[in-house]
């Protein structure tokens, strides 16, 4: 079944170059539909080793034709703002902090590892670290220079605005985009997310990285000019993490058919070809050693290298549309703000079997998948249930538990004696 998502694009502009045309906006919707249906012309560039896990998400997007009041609409709103950028902090102080603490601000794991140093550094300079990004969602509020969202349960809201910072008089993109996952998304522990983040639900894209043939693309030409920043951010909006799991080789994205990676595949050099990254293999997994999946939309690769969602990523996104984001596609949502699954899965690593323990004894279904995304076994149970693993070889597996459309995923490491 094809799930179709209504979209409203809010253009929030300070100068004319930020006020993107309807044609550029429509081109972005076209990119999304090709990427999520695997109709993108460069799907043929997926390496043979990954073609078996590539899939058609059967998710489509369209500019809304009816607004929240029932009136006809183009699905596009425009607002002139007095804000030159929706990123507002002292970038030079950030550079100083990066040098002082050895932090890569594009890597959440690096920030977390050095948090004590960062907090101390900013406090010494009279800045509260937690408040640095306090205004990042201002674009979603009309009284803060942005545009109020349409019903976030019924529409995918995409705000397009300036996310650049001033560096010595030069406007430089700081963020290309950001998005929040659904409430209860199993790959995002609640403690990793801001308090009450659901009120800011939606996707924000830097205006230079939006759509095709964008006349404002500037320095992003050759790197982020194919509309795939939006493809990537909507992946987050539908419950996906970065393929390197925002950590090193000991952390992954919770998806079985994306190989572990220690870092993003990122470059600022538009002259580098995709082939130059094909030997990249940052995690050596003896049981199933695969190169980094630079083709994946959830990496930070050059957009010309991106061309794939995997079957298990697709399963996760569709489960979010059947659960917490169900109202987008005309279904009743099956989760609430505080409704999370809580299953214990043990032992892990496992040797002969794995146990599922449900505290509430509700009926659930389970599926066990290998790293290529193939379903190995499935069933229905309640309370405590044991899955026999004796017929499987050592390696990584994904266990998905589904209770009423709410999915919890667990990576299982099988190590027999």
User: Of the listed 233, 263, 295, 322, which one is catalytic?
Assistant: 233
What's the distance, CA 84 to chain centroid? 27
What's the distance, CA 101 to chain centroid? 27
Nearest to 154 by CA among 236, 233, 75: 75
Q: What angle do CA 396, 398, 400 make, to 5 degrees?
A: 165
Nearest to 400 by CA among 314, 325, 330, 324: 314
Indicate if 131 belongs to the active site.
no
Return d(Cα 73, Cα 83) in angstroms, integer: 26
User: Backbone dihedral region of 303: left (phi > 0), alpha (psi from -120 to 50 degrees) or beta?
Assistant: alpha
How does DSSP classify residue 190?
Answer: G
Element (H, E) at 368: strand 364-370
Coil vs helix vs strand at 162: coil
Return d(Cα 357, Cα 342) in angstroms, integer: 9
Give the residue numbers marked as catalytic.
233
């Amino acid at each position: 079944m094809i799930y179709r998502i209504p979209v409203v694009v809010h253009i929030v502009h300070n100068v004319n170059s930020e006020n993107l045309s309807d044609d550029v906006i429509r081109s972005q919707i076209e990119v999304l539909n090709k990427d999520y249906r695997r109709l993108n012309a460069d799907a043929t560039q997926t390496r043979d080793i990954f073609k078996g896990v590539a899939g058609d998400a059967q998710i489509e997007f369209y500019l809304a034709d009816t607004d929240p009041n029932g009136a006809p609409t183009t699905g596009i709103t425009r607002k002139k703002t007095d804000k030159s950028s929706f990123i507002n902090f002292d970038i030079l102080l950030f550079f100083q902090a990066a040098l002082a603490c050895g932090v890569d601000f594009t890597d959440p794991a690096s920030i977390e590892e050095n948090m004590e140093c960062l907090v101390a550094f900013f406090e010494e300079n009279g800045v509260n670290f937690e408040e640095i990004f306090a205004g990042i969602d201002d674009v979603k509020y009309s009284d803060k220079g942005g545009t109020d969202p349409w019903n976030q349960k019924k529409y995918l809201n995409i705000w397009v605005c300036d996310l650049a910072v001033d560096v010595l008089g030069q406007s430089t993109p700081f963020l290309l985009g950001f998005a929040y996952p659904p409430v209860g998304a199993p790959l995002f522990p609640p403690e990793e997310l801001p308090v009450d983040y659901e009120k800011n639900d939606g996707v924000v894209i830097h205006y230079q990285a939006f759509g095709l043939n964008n006349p404002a693309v500037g320095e992003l030409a050759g790197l982020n000019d194919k509309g795939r920043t939006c493809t990537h951010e909507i992946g987050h909006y539908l419950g996906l993490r970065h393929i390197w799991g925002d950590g090193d080789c000991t952390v992954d994205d919770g998806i079985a058919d994306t190989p572990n990676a220690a870092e993003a595949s990122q470059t600022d050099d538009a002259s580098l070809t995709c082939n130059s990254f094909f030997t990249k293999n940052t995690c050596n997994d003896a049981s199933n050693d695969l190169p980094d999946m630079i083709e994946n939309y959830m990496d930070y690769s050059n957009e010309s290298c991106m061309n794939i969602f995997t079957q298990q990523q697709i399963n996760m996104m569709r489960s979010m549309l059947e659960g917490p984001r169900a109202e987008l596609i005309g279904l009743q949502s099956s989760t609430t703000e505080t409704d999370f699954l809580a299953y214990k899965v043990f032992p892990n690593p496992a040797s002969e079997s794995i146990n599922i323990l449900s505290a509430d004894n509700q009926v659930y279904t389970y599926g066990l998948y290998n790293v290529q995304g193939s379903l190995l076994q499935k069933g229905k149970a309640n309370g405590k249930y044991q899955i026999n693993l004796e017929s499987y070889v050592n390696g990584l597996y994904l266990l998905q538990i589904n209770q009423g459309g709410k999915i919890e995923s667990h990576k299982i490491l099988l190590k027999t004696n």
